[in-house]
A and B are shown apart, each in its own frame.
Chain A
Amino acid sequence: MDRRRLFQRLSGLFCAAYVAFLAIPGIKFLRAPLRDTRRTSKRRRLAKLSDLEVGVPRKVVVIDQRTDAWTRYPAGPIGAVWLLRRDDTTVEAFSATCPHLGCAVQRAAAADEFFCPCHEAKFSNDGTVIAGPSRRGLDTLDVALESVGDETWVAVTFDKFQLGTAEKLSRG
């Protein structure tokens, strides 16, 4: 190898070293927040059983502390849940976030069904799709009834799910 080739190789080598020096930590740095999945689903008491009428859905806002990167927010809304009491001892809970693209699910004005105004998705009272572009029904959440003193509370494990998929996948 002549002198010129040697220097060309050295130049290339150093160039690669510089790129690695910046790119390896740099890409790890950029990807770091993407791997931040420390959120643990908590079970929270949302409403008293006695406040829920059978067959009448009720929307409850979930209030809790929220951490946004470095900021810790005091208690505030972090999401909403539709509670539907089936009978004396069964309550179902649906996430009020539309599984299509994330808008807030409401009740239809003139029908006994759930309705999302963004793309006119319609869901029946058991969460299944009636009409609209959503690839799956409303996301169900785990419910447990807890007795506190003489009151029975409806406790829901709130979670967030990926949007637009046919399968219900937790976002963590």
Chain B
Amino acid sequence: MANIRDWIDDRTGYRGFLHGVLLLNFPVDRASRWRYVWGGSLSILFVVELVTGTLLMTVYSPSEAAAWGSVHYIEHNVAWGHFIRGVHHYTSNMMLIVILIHALTLVITAGYRRPREFTYWTGLILGGLVLGLAISGNPLPWDRKGYWAYQIETGIAGTMPGIGAQLRTMLVGGTDFGNLTLTRLYTLHVIVLPAAAVFLLVIHIALMRREKLLIVKKAAGPLGIAPQNMEPYWPYQTTRNMIVGAFLLAIVVLQLNFYPEWTPQGAVDSVPDEAVVAITQTAPADPDSTYIARPEWYVRFLFELRHMVDKEHEVYITAGLPAAIVLFMVLMPFYESILGRKLAHWFSLTVFVAGLGGVLFLTFLGTYHDRTDDSFQLAQRKEIEQAGRAIWLASQNGIPPEGPAGLLRNDPQTMGPQLFQTHCAHCHTWDGHDGTGTPTMEIVEGKPVPATPSASDLKGFGTAQWLTTFLTDPSDEKFFGNMHKITGGDEFSEGAMVAWAEENVGEELLTQKQIQAVAALIAEEARHSDAAPISAEVRELGVQVFAGGLKDADGEDLDFGNCLRCHEMGAGDPDEVGSDGEDAGLDLNGYASEEWLKEFIRDPGGETFYPDKNVMPGFDSTEISDRDLNLLVKWMRNEWPR
């Protein structure tokens, strides 16, 4: 065996090459070995990133239509995909922390001093490259979080003095975000920055090796024997590096298992219980979406600072401060020539530690602000719900070829509340709020207060329960009670239905059971897919109330109910008597069904609705498109995929 290795080494010199590349007999001071682990661990973590990154490349697709779907596929449909992606993401964060530790130990030991300046400077550039890799990697899933983060980052790039506009155009691949933005980002992340990092790492290590070998040569003396207090790098230092690296990777694995980015708190209504998973990507990017962006933790301090200065001085924070930090670090080797060795060292260390402390303080301040900001927390919760919904929809139906934005845009559960809020919430409420969970507000004496609605609450519209409550008291606030606020609305708030209820509902009048029966009969017209069928008994009782055939215990006629007098409804009129011409009320055939709702919303003053006393505006197809109307109505009827 040994002969073969000698044979190859004789011809290639591979042993010398390996010693050079892997620092095999690189001499190290015995006393300080644990302090040196950080650089070595970074190299290990970097290799982990290269390998996991390459694996992810076999599935990820950098186009607007495919990026989100390919990441979803990795997370849910590829064996170990969640693991590989988690390692890749959390290791990048870990590298940033280890870089800070590495830099701190370096400043403490004054490792920037002659003759190590270039080792130091290549190290600084490497740190910047790793930061660039982290920043360029985050938007790649093209989800809302990444998309808006990159919008802001390229926006900041655009404010750079002088080169701003050009720089932003180069990054974005044009003026607006699109396919070219993603392909350029991908190029940066996958080849430009990694190649530069590998190149600089080689130089960084080569410079270290050269410097150390010169020291050893000088200290070795005339006989060429290495001093007693030095040991070869391998296996002593490498073992320590690998132990620390393994420890760091163990933290990464714990993070990816127990600390997913966002967790839905409790059950998310729009997603079946068994489908609630850790949210590892937010909803697909959508330029129309509103998103309250927050930067990653490592630049959070800049975010806090820029909100502390006024608009004109913002560029000092976004451009000036980072430039100042870089300049401070780059010039560190030169402070000695002004301040003397010891003072310069103390100065560098103090500014570095103070700066680090300030950054940490601002970072924690920022996260504290978020945690105590109610409107932000509410917006976050909505983001998580939408993300969960998008992830579930994608798992059920795949992604349409034109891209994932359609998943939510065509989902009644997502669009319904927004449409209700935009078009209906001026007058109506949905379970007391505007459809999206927030109460409608109005300005009273200059301050926003929750508004009183002027029309009915529509949650559960047309269901037996809603109808029962309505028939029991139509003048309640939840129904016609507030309509007097509108001109002509008193036709309802003091109209025929209210009068009917006064005469027919109450003690000694229609019982709850009878009201429930007729409500169930009318609710059948809506053909809700989740409605339970009614029994023959209830149907018979309901018809008796509707058509006025109620009898008491002795068989005497009771003149209660009699809906048929005013309201047409085939199912309540088995003898086909028909309603009177006078006092004609709403035609109840198909009441609250999908077709009925669509027609009604388009034209509430139409023939079969309220031709004489309508007070509700109609919404034609220029106000609500057919597509939007369909989404709204399906949501109102609780008919969306789950």
Contacts and interface: CB of A to CB of B under 8 A. Distances in A.
B195 to A, nearest CB: 21
B348 interface: no
Contacts of A73: 401
A18 B246 contact: yes
B198 interface: no
A17 B245 CA distance: 11
Given A29-B84, A30-B58, A22 B48 contact: yes
Chain A at the B interface: mostly helix, strand, loop or mixed? helix
B51 interface: yes
Interface residues of B, number: 35
Interface stretch (A5-13, A83-91, A110-118, A155-163): A5-13
B242 A71 contact: no
A18 B44 contact: yes
Given A22-B52, A30-B58, A69 B84 contact: no
A22 B78 contact: no
A25 B84 contact: yes
A29 B44 contact: no
Contact of A21 (B70, B79, B249, B398): B249
B181 interface: no
Contacts of A15: 242
Contacts of B398: 67, 70-72
B399 interface: yes
Interface stretch (B208-216, B230-238, B460-468): B230-238
B239 interface: yes
A18 B50 CA distance: 13
A30 B55 contact: yes
A15 B22 CA distance: 13
B69 A8 contact: no
Contacts of A32: 77-81
Contacts of A7: 235-236, 239
Chain B at the A interface: mostly helix, strand, loop or mixed? helix
Interface string A119-158: 0000000000000000000000000000000000000000
B168 interface: no
A26 B69 contact: no
A70 B69 CA distance: 6
B227 interface: no
Contacts of A70: 66, 69-70, 72-73, 77, 394, 398-399
A72 B234 CA distance: 53
B242 A14 contact: yes
Contact of B79 (A11, A17, A22, A29): A29
A7 B30 CA distance: 14
Contact of B70 (A14, A29, A69): A69
Interface string A66-106: 01011111100000000000000000000000000000000
B235 A25 contact: no
Contacts of B399: 70-72
Nearest to A73: B401
B143 to A, nearest CB: 14
Given A22-B51, A28-B80, A70-B73, A11 B58 contact: no
B280 to A, nearest CB: 15
A11 to B, nearest CB: 4
B242 A11 contact: yes
Interface in B24-52: 44, 48, 51-52
Given A4-B235, A11-B238, A71 B51 contact: no
Nearest to B78: A32
Interface string B395-411: 00111110000000000
Contacts of A17: 246
Contacts of B400: 71-72, 74
B83 interface: yes
B243 interface: yes
Nearest to B76: A70
A74 B406 CA distance: 14
A26 B234 CA distance: 28
A57 B44 CA distance: 64
Nearest to B243: A14
A2 B479 CA distance: 89
Contact of A33 (B78, B80, B242): B78
Interface string A20-59: 0110011011111100000000000000000000000000
B44 to A, nearest CB: 7
A25 to B, nearest CB: 4
A67 to B, nearest CB: 6
Contact of A71 (B48, B59, B80, B401): B401
Given A17-B246, A22-B48, A71 B66 contact: yes
Contacts of B239: 7, 10-11, 14
A8 B231 CA distance: 13
A26 B394 contact: no
B521 to A, nearest CB: 37
Contacts of A22: 48, 51-52
A11 B234 contact: yes
Nearest to A4: B235
A25 B80 contact: yes
A7 B73 CA distance: 42
Contacts of B44: 18
Nearest to A36: B77
Nearest to A26: B55
A30 B78 CA distance: 9
B73 A69 contact: yes
A21 B256 CA distance: 15
Contacts of B236: 7
A94 B36 CA distance: 69
Residue from the set A17, A18, A31 with the largest chain B CB neighbour count within 10 Å: A18
A8 B235 CA distance: 5
Given A69-B70, A71-B66, A11 B235 contact: yes
B55 A18 contact: no
A32 B75 CA distance: 12
A29 B74 CA distance: 9
A141 B372 CA distance: 66
A70 B68 CA distance: 9
A4 B394 CA distance: 55
Nearest to B242: A14
Contacts of B79: 28-29, 31-32
Contacts of A31: 79
Nearest to B238: A11
Residue from the set B73, B397, B401 with the largest chain A CB neighbour count within 10 Å: B401
Contacts of B73: 69-70
A74 B397 CA distance: 11
Given A18-B48, A71-B69, A71-B398, 17 more contacts: A7-B235, A11-B242, A14-B243, A26-B51, A26-B52, A29-B79, A29-B80, A29-B84, A30-B55, A31-B79, A32-B77, A32-B80, A69-B59, A69-B69, A70-B69, A72-B398, A72-B401
Interface of A: 4, 7-8, 10-11, 14-15, 17-18, 21-22, 25-26, 28-33, 67, 69-74
24 contacts: A7-B239, A10-B235, A10-B242, A11-B242, A18-B44, A21-B249, A22-B48, A22-B51, A22-B52, A25-B80, A25-B83, A29-B55, A29-B78, A31-B79, A32-B77, A32-B78, A32-B79, A69-B70, A70-B72, A70-B398, A71-B69, A71-B401, A72-B397, A72-B399
Closest 3 CB pairs of A and B: A72-B398, A70-B69, A14-B242
